[in-house]
Amino acid sequence: MQALGLMGGTFDPVHFGHLRLAEEALEALGLEAVRWIPSGRPGHRDPPLASALHRVEMVRLAIADQPLFRLDVAETRTLDETFTINTLHRLRRELGELRPLVMIVGMDSFLSLASWRAWQDLFALAHFAVGERPGFMLSAQTMVGGLALEYARRTAEPDAVQRSPGGAIVTFPMTALDISATDLRERLGRGASARYLLPETVLAYIRAHRLYR
Ligand code: ATP
């Protein structure tokens, strides 16, 4: 059973940083596919600006050309706040206990892990694959709240994600792309160009629906 990648996020809007993160994880870790899981109402951050419906449609457009990218809209169908721990329990119910699952995260997300709900329980459900992101690095100073200890205990080579259902933390190099949704929202808000930072189809959707203005 090949490992399945999970790409969670608000995708407000989705951009080339997200797409390269998923693509490079797919390649570096030999994943069977990557399931994109837009969050509905994320429990641990400010509410997204665009509605869940729009964010889902933007992800759908962004991943349309890559057959190994799949869309999972379940989180956007509930009015409850969404937490990764609940997502992983749902996926285990659907996919069984044995399939290796890999949460793909950028380094900034990984460094905030100790503030996620029931974070230490996440490792029993999935591996973590951490992609490098400009401006962020793993060190004793940046890994706070017990994360450094967990990292030391679980760090492994990338092929570890194929050998068990979960529990390892692996890092992989990623083409540095200093693109963020926050910056994109700000650009779009002041009517500046966002071209070449996200797929043209997504940009056309944003224009058509007058998002982020
Ligand atoms: P925001 O600026 O609104 O916080 P974001 O651009 O960081 O958004 P999210 O939807 O919060 O995007 O992120 C989803 C996942 O993608 C997270 O794991 C995040 O670390 C990762 N990610 C986002 N942008 C990049 C990037 N440029 N390089 C590497 N990882 C990224």
Q: What is the CATH number of the domain that holds 23?
A: 3.40.50.620
Q: What is the pTM of this model?
A: 0.96
Domain count, the chain: 1
Ligand 1 pocket residue status of 109, Cβ below 6 Å: yes
Q: At what angle do helices 16-29 and 52-63 cross, to 10 degrees?
A: 50
Would you say residue 10 lies in a domain? yes
Q: What is the pLDDT of residues 96-125, one digit of tens each?
A: 999 999 999 999 999 999 999 999 999 999
Q: What is the pLDDT of residues 15-74, one digit of tens each?
A: 999 999 999 999 999 999 999 999 988 777 778 999 999 999 999 999 999 999 999 999
Would you say residue 29 lies in a domain? yes
In which band, very low, low, confident or very high, does the pLDDT at 212 lie, cut at 50, 70 and 90? Answer: very high
Domain hosting residue 32, numbered range:
4-179
Would you say residue 18 lies in a domain? yes
Q: Ligand 1 centre and the CA of 140: distance in Å?
A: 22
Would you say residue 184 lies in a domain? no
Would you say residue 115 lies in a domain? yes
Would you say residue 100 lies in a domain? yes
Would you say residue 153 lies in a domain? yes
Would you say residue 212 lies in a domain? no
Q: Ligand 1 centre and the CA of 109: distance in Å?
A: 7
| Nearest CA residue ID for atom 7, ligand 1 | 180
| Best residue for ligand 1 mutational test, from 6, 12, 16, 18 (most atoms within 8 Å of Cβ) | 18
Average pLDDT, the chain: 95
For residue 197, pLDDT over 80 is answered with yes
What's the confidence (pLDDT) of residue 133?
Answer: 83
